[in-house]
């Protein structure tokens, strides 16, 4: 008998990948921020800095990190909710364990393939 894939472990693996990618992007953002500070401390204007440093303002990196981490976290949460429900816990017990509202549990169970659902990719 073939066992069902473990959605929680798959979501955790996805989260680990996203965290690793975020760490790499954070290193790039940190170098850019230090370069901006150094150039500004030498009297350079922001327009000159922006022309000189590719992607000088780290908004894109920060936004991508936040969006990817949120998506991965929602997938993990949905997988955890499904697993706990499958183990027979009620909505209130799941909410307490995960530190979320019962409404969030109900909505995720009702729409598992929604924005953060376990089957969303």
Tell me, letter by letter, the H, E, C secondary structure of 59-84: HHHHHHHHHHHHHHHHHHHHHHHHHH
Q: Is the dihedral of CA 84, 87, 91, 93 positive or negative?
A: negative
The stretches of the chain forming alpha helices (DSSP H) are 7-41, 46-52, 59-86, 91-98, 102-110
- For the stretch 13-53, pLDDT in tens is 999 999 999 999 999 888 888 988 999 999 999 999 888 87
User: What is this structure's pTM?
Assistant: 0.76
- For the stretch 54-96, pLDDT in tens is 765 677 888 899 999 999 999 999 999 999 999 999 999 999 9
Is the confidence at residue 6, as pLDDT, over 70?
Answer: yes
Q: CA geometry: angle at 18 spanning 13 and 24, to 5°? A: 130
Contact between residue 46 and residue 118 where contact means Cβ atoms under 8 Å apart? no
CA–CA gap between residue 66 and residue 119 (Å, rounded): 20
Is the confidence at residue 2, as pLDDT, over 90?
Answer: no
């Amino acid at each position: 008998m073939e066992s069902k894939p473990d959605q929680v472990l798959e979501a955790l693996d996805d989260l680990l990948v996203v965290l690793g990618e975020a760490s790499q992007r954070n290193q790039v953002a940190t170098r850019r921020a230090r370069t901006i500070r150094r150039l500004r401390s030498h009297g350079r204007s922001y327009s000159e800095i922006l022309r000189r440093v590719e992607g000088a303002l780290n908004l894109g990196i920060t936004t991508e990190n936040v969006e990817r981490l949120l998506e991965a976290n929602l997938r993990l949460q949905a997988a955890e909710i499904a697993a706990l429900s499958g183990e027979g816990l009620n909505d209130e017990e799941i909410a307490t364990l995960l530190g979320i509202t019962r409404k969030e549990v109900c909505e995720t169970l009702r729409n598992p393939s929604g924005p953060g659902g376990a089957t969303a990719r």
